[in-house]
Structure 1
């Protein structure tokens, strides 16, 4: 996690580009946290993450249209998802396009499988953009909110720091007094 944090703080929006293209949530959440700390701008993080997420899905959708059968031959695990995914699309329609980036295992496979379907390009583009925008907003927003919570906890900890230090000093003095008393009682009775 430290390496990813360093990647985000060192490369900023370029890290968000990479995160939107290949990995996703972790880098976008860290970028939202970085925005909270002032390294990046939150609306820019959300926009870049959403755009790159949508762009990667368009590339994968195109791959499904162009070479879907070869992809399934090379990665048979994706084939196992195909029937279930087609049933989801038949039942829920375009909501699946919006939700696929939130479904485990569908980040890469979903757009490829949709590309192999008869879904029209304009419909895919519209609902993919909606899903990517929602994803960018929620993931970066989660990082921002985590940052707010962490800052509040640290502020509270700083306010209580004097009290905690005082309590530790009192406990240490009590322990030292108890050990001295115990040493005298053991020495007297022996």
Structure 2
């Protein structure tokens, strides 16, 4: 049976490549922590995270090119936001392609909207590569930077894990209540 550290070493790069398809920020930051502690190579971690982000955005972009309008029409309540995003993409295409990866809540639908906006693939691809590497470098570096703090916290505090779980649960509850209230008011 593999130990936790062996799992990270064997499957960590695959996980960070698949991570952007699911939930990229958290996994990229955790990969940075793993790199800080020597389980992963930082440069390979950034590379694999960026590749996963590029593949994800490329897929969604081409999905938007092919099926974007019918898919986006299903979001009746958000049509004005979608149209506003399209207008902004037309005005600032480079900024939007690079910045979409950083826009929490817009990460999945953003490349789809960009795909429907008429931006040519030959322009999207290099900008997507720049955005993916920029995002991967920042997120993994954040994890790398806080990795030392996390290790010190867990090595000196016997109940630090319980406190972290309690804080995470409280934050999750607060965010859930806030989202429910926001939907009711909308």
Q: Which residue of 2 aligns with 1:141?
A: 141
How far the C-alpha of 1:148 sits from its partner, in A, is 3.0
Q: Which residue of 2 aligns with 1:49?
A: 49
Normalising by structure 2, we get a TM-score of 0.72
Any gaps of 5 or more consecutive residues in structure 1?
159-190
* Aligned partner of residue 99 in structure 1, secondary structure: helix
What is the CA RMSD across the aligned residues, in angstroms? 2.6
Q: Which residue of 1 aligns with 2:16?
A: 16
Decide which structure has greater helix share: 1
Q: In structure 1, what is the Cα distance between the partners aligned to 2:120 and 2:49?
A: 24
Conserved 8 A contact 2:99-2:131 = yes
Q: In structure 2, what is the Cα distance between the partners aligned to 1:78 and 1:128?
A: 25
| Max Rg structure | 1
1:39-188 matches, within 5 Å, as: 39-76=39-76, 79-151=79-151
Normalising by structure 1, we get a TM-score of 0.71
Conserved 8 A contact 1:7-1:15 = no
Conserved 8 A contact 2:17-2:48 = yes
Any gaps of 5 or more consecutive residues in structure 2?
158-186
Conserved 8 A contact 2:89-2:117 = no
Which stretch of the first structure deviates more once superposed, 66-75 or 120-129?
Answer: 66-75
Q: CA deviation digits over 1:25-77, x for unaligned, max 9? A: 00010011001111111111100000110111000001101111221134445
* Aligned partner of residue 118 in structure 2, secondary structure: coil
Structure 1 outlier segments of 4+, above 2 Å: 5-11, 73-81, 90-93, 148-155
